Amino acid sequence: MNTSTEQITVKKVTTSRLPEVDFDNLVFGSTFSDHMFMCDFKDGAWQDATILPYGNLSISPAAKVFHYGQAVFEGMKAFKDEDGNVFLFRPEENFERINKSSKRMAIPEFPKALFFEALHKLLALDKDWVKGGLGNSLYIRPFAMATQVGVAAAPANEYKFMILMSPVKAYYTGDVKVTIAQKYSRSANGGVGAAKAAGNYGAQFYPTNLAREKGFQQVIWTDADEHKYLEEAGTMNVFFRINDTLITAPTSDRILDGVTRKSVLAIAERDGIETDVRRLTVGELVAAAKDGSLKEIFGSGTAAVISPVSAFGYNDEIFELEKPQDSYSERFKKELMDIQYNRAQDPFGWRYPIA
């Protein structure tokens, strides 16, 4: 059945796959809802915006995305409260960031009205895929990729913008053990570290695999020049609590401007917790771990929200962290999730209702 809206053609599934899904045993990002959004850039304009049943694409092996990595993405979530209402969390930030990433990768920016119309219509169609209950959510993956056929080393002139949705539970179920990078780097000055470019993440997999062979789940990335300054943790921004001060690296062209990171800083400021946005050295961290002033390390990101670090490794030494009774990570996670699931007031205006 095809129906037209002002901008988007909608092709609905005939039968939902929802009854086939075991929501108690989801593998993160492996199950997808009934519908997806697709829009093509050609002849200098975004066109043919369509919502259609989730399914495979037919794409040329010579599409430039495969050869030059012109691809960017975002991560968002939809939440359902106890009354069945659906909310997004700070979606304007995700929209602005995907266009910032696109600009850095020479991909045409996507129209705001079309982005939000696509989200509204997708979530209206697949509302039942958003399960209620703390920890349940619908992960939303907007992305853009170069589809022009040809292997000449130049930006493409044709692209595809898509949105997929995947029901998920918690990303990490326990604390994370990390190692501090001393050889490999996530990004460098003047590079694309501040963009959610696909290649950023692919380049992390090998050093992360090496870390896992040594018993760590993730890597805390350091600067590419000296491996002296602490920057990010795995695919997350990272926070360090030394005594009662919360420290995190400033954003730059190497460090992603995380939505959850911004939210943690805003909640900390509201709650009267001292924050210090500055470059923290590995030496300072190790000294704080040794003298007992290091209270917590945690990552922040859309998938995991807040992910506590139970131990870190450096120079073949392991530093264990005991979770304090007044845990900042637990506090921030609860306060963020209470806003996301409409369990508390939202003084920041972050909750975005879906009609």
The CATH number covering residue 136 comes to: 3.30.470.10
Percent of the chain whose predicted confidence (pLDDT) is above 70: 97
> Looking at residues 116-142, what average pLDDT do you find?
97
Phi and psi at residue 118, to the nearest 5°: -60, -45
The count of domains in the chain is 2
pLDDT of residue 257 exceeding 70: yes
Whether residues 148 and 8 share a domain: the answer is yes
Give the per-residue pLDDT at 6.
58
Region of residue 144 (phi > 0: left; psi between -120 and 50: alpha; otherwise: beta): beta
Structural domain that includes position 71 = 2-168
Three-state DSSP class for 115?
Answer: helix
| pLDDT surpasses 70 at 1 | no
DSSP 8-state symbol, 271: T
- 345 located within any domain: no
Query: Which residue is it, tokens 């501040």?
Result: 194
| 126 shares a domain with 232 | no
Is 29 domain-assigned?
yes
Query: Which residue, of 126, 143, 168, is where some domain finishes?
Result: 168
Residue 3 pLDDT > 50: no
Q: Answer yes or no: is 348 within a domain.
A: no
> Average pLDDT, stretch 320-347?
96
Please tell me the least confidently modeled range out of 5-9, 133-137, 343-347. Answer: 5-9
Alpha carbons 48 and 39: distance in angstroms, whole number: 6
Per-residue pLDDT reduced to its tens digit, 262-303 = 999 999 999 999 999 999 999 999 999 999 999 999 999 998
pLDDT at 304: 84
Same domain, 144 and 197: no
d(CA 169, CA 266): 25
Distances (CA, A) of 213 to 182, 209, 210, 218, 308: 16, 6, 5, 11, 21
**pLDDT at 324 > cutoff 90:** yes
pTM over 0.75? The answer is yes
pLDDT at residue 175 in the model? 75
- The answer to whether position 238 is within a domain reads yes
Which residues neighbour 24 within 8 Å (Cβ) at sequence distance 6 or greater?
A: none
Q: Note whether residue 149 is domain-resident.
A: yes
Residue 97 lies in a domain: yes
- Indicate which CATH number applies to the domain containing 292: 3.20.10.10
> Do 222 and 160 meet the contact criterion of CB atoms below 8 Å apart?
no
Stretch 100-109: mean pLDDT, rounded?
98
Task: Kindly provide the residue ranges of all beta strands, DSSP E only, lying in the chain, ordered along the sequence.
Answer: 2-4, 9-11, 35-42, 45-53, 71-73, 76-80, 86-89, 137-146, 159-168, 176-180, 218-222, 229-233, 236-242, 245-248, 274-277, 280-281, 294-301, 305-314, 317-320, 351-354
Same domain, 145 and 126: yes
Residues 160 and 194 in one domain: no
Please, what's the b/e burial string for 174-207 (b: 16 or more CB within 10 A of its CB; e: otherwise)? ebbbbbbbeebbbbeeebbbbbbbbebeeebeeb
pLDDT at residue 172 in the model = 62
Same domain, 63 and 104: yes
Decide if 133 is inside a domain: yes
List the single range of 30-44, 47-61, 80-94, 159-173 with lowest mean pLDDT.
159-173
Residue 7's pLDDT band (cuts 50, 70, 90): confident
Q: How far apart are CA 192 and CA 275, in angstroms?
A: 27
Report how far residue 31's alpha carbon sits from residue 38's, in angstroms, rounded to the nearest whole number.
18
162 and 205 fall within a common domain: no
Q: What is the mean pLDDT of the chain?
A: 95
Q: Are residue 147 and residue 222 in the same domain, yes or no?
A: no
| Structural domain includes residue 57 | yes
Average pLDDT of 86-98? 98
